[in-house]
């Protein structure tokens, strides 16, 4: 089980394409977003879709993506976003870039 993610934390969605029932939309795979909120643990719908019990439960997060980063031809405002619910096993924290010391 991965560590819990926190609102405001940057994450990347796995860029994988496994066969079968998947709840994670293709258009966010491999993209970075920000955790908007933790929704709690739920039965894994990818397991439920195959007739299993969905256990152990997986944590679900609402992730906010900037639309200009999702769509190559997006013509809306830079600030437009879309929120997508994504289960924890699809998400990896994005390491913050180290701060560079300022030159005097």
Can you list the domains of the chain with their CATH numbers? Answer: 10-93 (2.30.30.50)
pLDDT at 104: 45
- What's this model's pTM, rounded to 2 decimal places? 0.86
Query: Measured at the alpha carbon of residue 19, what is the angle toward residues 15 and 22, in degrees to the nearest 5?
Result: 70
Enumerate residues 6+ apart whose C-beta is below 8 A from 97: none
Per residue in 80-104, pLDDT tens? 999 999 999 999 999 866 555 555 4
pLDDT at 98: 58
Give me the pLDDT at residue 76, please: 95
| pLDDT at residue 22, as a whole number | 82
Q: Where would I find the beta strands (DSSP E) of 1-104? A: 10-13, 32-42, 58-66, 81-87, 91-93
**55 token code pair:** 């256990």
Q: Are 103 and 97 in contact (CB under 8 A)?
A: no
Q: Are strands 91-93 and 81-87 parallel, antiparallel or unpaired?
A: unpaired
Q: Bridge-partner residues for 92, per DSSP?
A: 12
Residue pLDDT, tens place only, 27-77: 999 999 999 999 999 999 989 988 999 999 999 999 999 999 999 999 999
Backbone angles phi, psi at 90, to 5 degrees: -95, -10
Q: Tokens at residue 28, please?
A: 């966010």
């Amino acid at each position: 089980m991965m560590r819990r993610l926190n609102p405001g934390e940057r994450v990347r969605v796995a860029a994988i394409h496994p066969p079968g029932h998947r709840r994670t939309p293709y258009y966010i795979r491999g993209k970075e977003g920000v955790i908007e909120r933790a929704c709690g643990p739920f039965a894994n719908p990818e397991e439920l879709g195959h007739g299993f019990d969905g256990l152990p439960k997986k944590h679900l997060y609402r992730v906010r993506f900037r639309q200009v980063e999702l769509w190559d031809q997006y013509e809306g405002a830079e600030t437009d976003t879309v929120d997508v619910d994504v289960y924890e096993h699809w998400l990896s924290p994005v390491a913050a870039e180290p701060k560079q010391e300022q030159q005097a």
